[in-house]
Amino acid sequence: MNRTHLEHVVAALLIMVAAWGLLALLGIPAGHWAGAFAGVFFFVGREYTQGERNLAHVESVHLTHLRWYDGLRFWRWTPDGRLDLLLPLVVCLVAALLVQLLL
């Protein structure tokens, strides 16, 4: 585990709390789940993009020559990229479950 994994966890939790707070101000229930999804899907998009770029670099092709789903091939991501997605996913889901149980 390196520093970026911790940074991604903190960023995902901040996104979760910000979305939850905004939805709570609007009176929308279950904002903690929406916040958790926002925090996770931010990093899904980020890792998708990095997966595409790495694949284009490895195969020596331009990004326009890749299919739309090539970035979703997570088995071709680096182990660091997988952890950059997996750790925020687990932490946000655990946080949302804890909020659900405690509130």
| Residue extents of the structural domains in the chain | 3-102
Residue 16 makes CB contacts below 8 A (sequence gap 6+) with 32, 35, 36, 38, 39, 92, 95, 96
Q: How many CA atoms within 13 Å lie on the side-chain side of 40? A: 16
One digit per residue, the tens of pLDDT, for the chain of length 103 reads 889 999 999 999 999 999 999 999 999 888 999 999 999 999 999 999 999 999 899 889 998 898 989 888 889 888 999 999 999 999 999 999 999 999 8
The answer to whether 31 touches 23, Cβ cutoff 8 Å, is yes
Q: List the Cα angle 49/9/84 in 5-degree steps.
A: 35
